[in-house]
Structure 1
Amino acid sequence: MTTLNGKVALVTGGARGIGAAIALRLAQDGADVAITYENSADRAAVVAKQVEALGRRALAIRADSADPAAVRDAVDRTATALGRLDILVNNAAVFLVGPVTELGDDEVERTLAVNVRAPFLAAQAAARHLTEGGRIISIGSNVGERAVFPGLSLYSMSKTALIGLTRGLARELGPRGITANLVNPGPTDTDTNPADGPNAAAIAGFTALGRFAAPADIAATVAHLAAPEAGYVTGAVVNVDGGFTG
């Protein structure tokens, strides 16, 4: 597929899991891809080589999403090194859970910094580079709409905030032909939430399909929203969750 030929994408947290799958799918569809990572340098290098093996340009940027300067710099470096920026995928996140009465200030601050402030700052920086046809796609979570287990209050709050961000961006950037959408994955088979993990059966049981998604399932929806065919979709919240919130 070449629907994204000539486009440049930045995927935050693109060294592993859903982020890596998104980066590779966008490359398969024709985009040059930059990714950010914090600690997974080896994995980031592998993803970059896989992108290059598809005939696309790749850029791996070390950036802590809790650092505002690093977030802005990653956006600007992508546009400078790859010549432009067309697609921003806000994927980087932290998953800090626990009883609401026991979560400390550091956990609250890091969750809000990475899961809420960073997507805003990345979108703000990207808006200075994006032109007509630009895309901002954020990755939320099914628990932003349905927290079925205790201990999710902080994380759920941070992901719900992306709904407001997405709808605000859609309204503000729409006149420039730039869309903003939110994808909420359901249970997805990754290193941090494996489909054969100790709680996997219970988690899968909350879905209508009774199983986990593969990262590629989430990436396919992101690729659709990034494509020209989705140019009239904006401000949308797309649940790719196997019926978890249905």
Structure 2
Amino acid sequence: MQLDLEGKLALVTGASSGIGAATAELLAAEGVDVIVGYRGNEAGADATVAAVESHGRTARRCRMDVADAADVKRAIAQLDLGERGLDILVQSSGVAPVGDLRELPADEWQHVVAVNLNGPFYVLQAVTPFLRDGAAVVNVASVAGQTGVPHQAHYAAAKAGVINLTKSAARALAPRVRVNCVAPGMTLTEMGQITATALPADYAEKKLLLQRFAEPQEIAHCIVFLASGAAGFITGETLNANGGRDLR
């Protein structure tokens, strides 16, 4: 299968750890130069830059707070994408604290929605003028955005918004740009470990056909596929990668 990614340029948000870091490295392995988006984890961003460069590709860091529209505009402007343009945008920034719906503080709700929903909108809006013909956008949502979860109502609501932002953007940017979404289930990342504290110990065994959580690299493969020429006739869709959760 030809992915047709050699020589392309990608911006990956949330690339200092987890799914974002795995995606940045996998893109590099397929011949993509990567802009490593991050907010505060400089050591993680440096590690991702090193991973990209280990595949012979160029990498640079882009520090921005995706929840702050002005900071996003500043960061994108500093990338100076005007002449080169951008081929791929992967949006994997996220926060997922655990809390009872009946006791969630308003400021926590607002922060989670700001990072997980407002952020993807701000970044997409800022980079849209620089997306080249045939560019691909891949947003990272969550199975929580499809089913709802009692211990992360703010996160689930925001990720549901990401799924519909994806559909809206696919309509708005067609036919020049494809926009798709991946909805992972439980994944073995730092953020996933926080979510796991609210789940029964036997959750994977009882709720997932594959009886295990995903590795970040497995979700990254889904993202890279949707970003590639192999998915050239796919837009406005959400790819579920949840280990068979919907079938148990």
Unpaired runs of 5+ residues, structure 2, are none
CA distance in 2, matches of 1:75, 1:202: 43
2:166/2:236 contact within 8 Å kept: yes
Cα RMSD between the aligned structures? 2.1
Residues 66-100 of structure 1 show CA distances to partners (whole Å, capped at 9, x for unaligned) of 21122233334345399321111111011133122
Work out the number of aligned pairs and report it: 243
Q: SS at 2:96's partner residue?
A: coil
Given that 1:26 and 1:223 are in contact with CA atoms closer than 8 Å, whether structure 2 keeps it comes out as yes
1:1-246 alignment, distance < 5 Å: 3-80=4-81, 83-147=84-148, 149-175=149-175, 177-194=176-193, 199=199, 201-204=201-204, 205-246=206-247
Question: SS in structure 2 opposite 1:245?
Answer: helix
**Code of the aligned partner of 2:184:** P
Q: Which runs of 5+ in 1 are unaligned?
A: none
Structure 2 contact 38–62 (Cα < 8 Å) conserved? yes
What SS does the aligned partner of 2:192 have?
A: coil
Q: TM-score, normalised by structure 1?
A: 0.92
Report the more deviating stretch, 32-41 or 82-91: 82-91
Cα separation, partners in 2 of 1:73 and 1:206, compared to 1, 3 Å: farther
CA deviation map 1:3-28 (0-9, x unaligned): 31121101111010111001001111
Q: How has the CA–CA distance of structure 1 residues 168 and 50 changed in structure 2, closer, same or farther, with 3 Å as cutoff?
A: same
Give aligned-pair identity as a percent: 37
Q: Identify which range, 74-83 or 5-14, moves more after superposition.
A: 74-83
Name the SS of the counterpart of 1:151 in structure 2. Answer: coil
In structure 2, the CA distance between the partners of 1:216 and 1:81, relative to structure 1 (3 Å rule), is: farther
Contact 1:92 1:115 in 2 (8 A): yes
